[in-house]
Amino acid sequence: MKILFLAIEFIAGLLLITAVLLHAAKGEGLGSIGSPARVFGSQKDMEKGLNKFTGVTAFVFMLTALILSLFFS
């Protein structure tokens, strides 16, 4: 059972890292000095879906970490 929770946490950790890296940058940085960086508009629906996925993945990661620390330490 412990190995199952460790595997779930490992996979959730990798998915969480990937989801965070897929998010668009909030600030424009130095790229906005010459012209606007967003020419074709924003992708709000994709960001909303990515936010939900990131939240669910973070919840699964934290839940498995809590279960592992409480029952298997």
> In the block, which residue shows the tokens 């946490």?
9
Q: What is the pLDDT of residues 3-53, one digit of tens each?
A: 999 999 999 999 999 999 998 777 665 555 555 555 555 678 888 999 999
Query: 23-55 burial, b for 16+ CB within 10 Å, e for fewer?
Result: eeeeeeeeeeeeeeeeeeeeeeeeeeebeeebe
pTM, two decimals, is: 0.77
Residue type, 15: L
pLDDT at 62: 98
Residue pLDDT, tens place only, 49-67: 999 999 999 999 999 999 9
Residue corresponding to tokens 């996979």: 11
What is the C-alpha separation between 50 and 32, in angstroms, rounded?
24
Q: Cα separation of 7 and 25, whole Å?
A: 30
pLDDT of the residue at 44 = 80
